[in-house]
Structure 1
C-alpha cells in the first residue's frame, strides 16, 4: 500500500511531465489487464493493450490539466474502472438509432466549420468539463467572464450554422 506522501510525489511527478510511473505501471499490469479485459469484454490481446495505453493517456491528461487532484489509493482499480466506462460508452455509441447517428454526424460537420478557437473553447467546456476560469487560463483570456462570452459567441455561431444548413436544405 502506498503512503499518502508517495501518492503525492507520484502526482507531482506526473504534473511536471515525468511519465515513468505510468510506463512502469503499464509494464507491470498489461498482462493482468489484458486477461481481465478479455474475460469481461472479449477483446483481443492487441486491443486490450491499446485500451490500457489509451486509458493511461486519459489518466495522465486528467492529472496534468488538474481534473484529478488526488491520486486514487488503488490505481489499478481506478484504471480498470476507466477502461470499463470507455468500453461501455463505446458499446452504447454503437447502438445509436440511425437518425440520431446522422444528426450527430451533421452537427460534427458544422462544428468543424467553426474557428479553431471556438472549437477549443467548446471542447474544453462541454467535453472536458472545464469551468470558465480553467477555459480562460487555457485559452489565454483575461478572466472567466471573457471565457463565458467567448463560449456564448461560439454556441451562437454553431446555432447559426445549423439554422442556415436547415434553411438551405
Structure 2
C-alpha cells in the first residue's frame, strides 16, 4: 500500500478538505484491478466500465469530504467506497428495469418538471441542484458558485425559484391554450 494510506485517517480527511487528492489517486492506482475483479464478479461489469465506476465513486467521495457531508473518515475506506459503488450500480439497475415505476400521472409530472428545469440557465440549474439535491448550505453554495456570502446565495436561490415558477406558469398557460384549441377543433 502507498505511504499516503499509512497516514492517520483524520489527517487524510483534512488534506482532502484543502484540495489534496493524492489519497484518491493512490487509492485508485492501488485498487483498480481488485475493484474491476469485484465489479465483474458482483455486477458483470467489464474492466473499462468498472474503472469508470471507481473514478465516479472517488469523485463523489471527494465531493462529500470537500462539502462537509462526510465529517469522519470511515474505518474501512475500501469497504465504504465499494458500498457506494454497489448503491450506484443498484440504482442504475432499478432505473433501467423500471423497478421503481411511478404512477403515470406522477411520472408525467416529473418529466414536465425536468423539461422546465432544463429551460433555466446553467447557473440557476447548478445552484438549485447544489441546494436541493446535494443538500449544501448557503455558505457552501456561495463558495462553489463564487458569491460573496450566504445571503447572496439565498437571494440567488429565490431568484432561480421565481424564474422556474414563471416558466411553469407560462407552460401551464400554453398547455391550457392548446387544450382549448383542441376541444374547439372537435
| Unmatched 5+ stretches in structure 2 | 176-186
TM-score by length of 1: 0.82
Shift of 1:20: 2.0
What does residue 151 of structure 1 align with? 157
Higher relative contact order (CA 8 A, sep 6+): 1
Q: How many residues were matched structurally? A: 166
Are the equivalent residues in 1 in contact too, given 2:131–2:138 (CA < 8 A)? Answer: yes
Provide, for residues 66-105 of structure 1, a one-character-per-residue CA deviation record: whole Å limited to 9, x for no partner: 2222211100011011111111221222214595655444
- RMSD of the TM alignment (CA)? 2.5
Q: Distance in 1 between matches of 2:31 and 2:37?
A: 10
Aligned to 2:93: 91
Q: In structure 2, what is the Cα distance between the partners aligned to 1:101 and 1:50?
A: 30
The structure that has the greater radius of gyration is 2
Q: Where in structure 2 are the equivalents of 1:20-169 lying within 5 Å?
A: 20-94=22-96, 95=98, 96=101, 99=104, 103-139=109-145, 140-144=147-151, 146-169=152-175
CA distance in 2, matches of 1:53, 1:116: 25
101 and 30 in structure 1: CA distance in 2 versus 1, 3 angstrom threshold: farther
Which has the higher mean CA deviation after the structures are superposed, 73-82 or 109-118? 109-118
- Structure 1 residues 113-122 or 45-54, which shifts more? 113-122
- TM (normalized to structure 2)? 0.75
Q: How far is 1:141 from its partner?
A: 4.4
In 1, are the aligned partners of 2:124 and 2:160 still within 8 Å (CA)? Answer: yes
Q: Give the whole-Å Cα distance in 1 for the aligned partners of 2:9 and 2:30.
A: 18
Greater displacement, 69-78 / 94-103: 94-103
